[in-house]
Amino acid sequence: MDELKKKYPIGKICAKLQISRAGYYKYEKKKEKKKRESKKERQLKEYIQLIYEEHKSRYGYRKIRAVLNNQYNIPASEKVVRRLMQELGLKSKARKWKKGTKQHKVASAGFIYENILQRDFSTKRINEKWVTDVTEISYGNGKLYLSTILDLHNNRVLGHSIAEIHDVNLVKASLLDALKKRKNKNKKLILHSDQGFTYRSTKWHQLVAKNQLTPSMSRKANPFDNACIESFFSYLKTECLEELKVAHNQIEAIKVINDFVYYYNHKRIQSTLNYKTPNQYVAAS
């Protein structure tokens, strides 16, 4: 058709092919639109690939779409981003959900506190509710323990500590780290934990009391009472799985963990924070 246009008028071509001029121009318009869209989608794919690689396969189509809109000012629907990701063969690192299981424990010794939090994770300001826990992290041929303090207002990791041994010193170190960063001291600050032996210890009780914190504890064998911190650990283990597998020693494993904590606070957007990072959310609120 393009070759014929150079030799003959459009009217004669349409008459010979027995098509209307309006139909021909509609076809040309549609073809040009498709050409423009293809170019736009090629550019969009480049941005999607860039964001996907920058965040080490951690982002799915919703977060990539949020970055496109907020950071690059490129409007795109979730449907389009999802389709283009499928065409590129990009998949985010999905967490594996564990089935809840009933656990039975013997009566706890030491200090036991009331469950003040009661699964109410809502807040109005920073330093209103903190949650804490310890998790075991495997790497290469070894393992480490990570203790973390999380502020529920912006899901920011305020303090963390890493050690070979799970003991009171580990949890104390993470709390002291968080307390150093604490601003606008609130005497009604709730600090929620499970009923682990470290949180029932005298040393933990004394540190909490000294800093005028209000202790709260989950019910026995009920991880959902501390779901937010469990969620953070789940993200860390899923998104750093491959890096931890190839870590040759403690130094490399600790670097992976510390790098993720920094990334989580400063670069990883969260849907619950209106697709902002923990640090951005505080600045905006």
Within a domain: residue 51?
yes
Q: Are residues 215 and 138 part of one domain?
A: yes
Phi and psi, residue 274, nearest 5°: 60, 40
DSSP string, 220-280: TT-GGGGHHHHHHHHHHHHHTHHHHHT--SHHHHHHHHHHHHHHHHHT--BGGGTSB-HHH
* 1 — pLDDT class (breaks 50, 70, 90): low
121 vs 28, which has greater pLDDT?
121
Q: Report the pLDDT averaged over residues 271-282.
A: 93
Angstrom distances, CA of residue 174 to CA of 134, 158, 177, 216, 234: 10, 8, 5, 17, 19
pLDDT at 89 over 50: yes
What pLDDT does 120 receive?
Answer: 96
pLDDT at 96 over 70: no
Residue range(s) defining the domain that contains residue 194: 127-281
Q: Which two tokens stand for residue 46?
A: 């480049």
pLDDT at 94 over 90: no
Q: Are residues 271 and 226 part of one domain?
A: yes
Q: Report the pLDDT averaged over residues 77-90.
A: 93
Model-wide pTM > 0.85: no
pLDDT one-digit tens code per residue, 147-201: 999 999 999 999 999 999 999 999 999 999 999 988 667 678 999 999 999 999 9
pLDDT at 138 over 80: yes
What pLDDT does 4 receive?
Answer: 65
Q: Are residues 175 and 81 part of one domain?
A: no
pLDDT one-digit tens code per residue, 209-237: 999 999 999 998 888 999 999 999 999 99
CA atoms of 131 and 282, how far apart (whole Å): 17
Rounding to the nearest 10 degrees, give the CA dihedral for residues 116, 229, 134, 175.
-70
Q: Are residues 132 and 243 part of one domain?
A: yes
Within a domain: residue 67?
yes
Phi and psi, residue 189, nearest 5°: -60, 125
Q: Report the pLDDT averaged over residues 58-84.
A: 93
Within a domain: residue 91?
no
Contact 45, 61 (CB under 8 A): no
192: left (phi over 0), alpha (psi -120 to 50) or beta: beta
* 101 — pLDDT class (breaks 50, 70, 90): very low
Q: Are residues 272 and 248 part of one domain?
A: yes
Q: How many domains does the chain have?
A: 3
CA atoms of 94 and 246, how far apart (whole Å): 20
Q: Which two tokens stand for residue 182?
A: 């604490």
CA-closest candidate to residue 192, choices 234, 158, 235, 228: 228
The lowest-confidence range among 16-20, 115-119, 124-128, 264-268 is 16-20
Q: Which two tokens stand for residue 152?
A: 């529920």
* 5 — pLDDT class (breaks 50, 70, 90): low
Q: Are residues 132 and 58 part of one domain?
A: no
pLDDT at 104 over 70: no
Within a domain: residue 248?
yes
Give the SS3 label for residue 182: coil
Within a domain: residue 159?
yes
What pLDDT does 37 receive?
Answer: 64
Q: Report the pLDDT averaged over residues 261-270.
A: 96
What pLDDT does 106 receive?
Answer: 42
203 vs 12, which has greater pLDDT?
203
The CATH number for 271's domain is 3.30.420.10
What pLDDT does 2 receive?
Answer: 61
Within a domain: residue 98?
no
Edge-to-edge strands, sheet with 214-217 = 156-163, 142-151, 129-139, 190-193, 214-217
Mean pLDDT (the chain) is: 89
* 238 — pLDDT class (breaks 50, 70, 90): very high
Q: Report the pLDDT averaged over residues 35-60.
A: 87
Contact 131, 120 (CB under 8 A): no
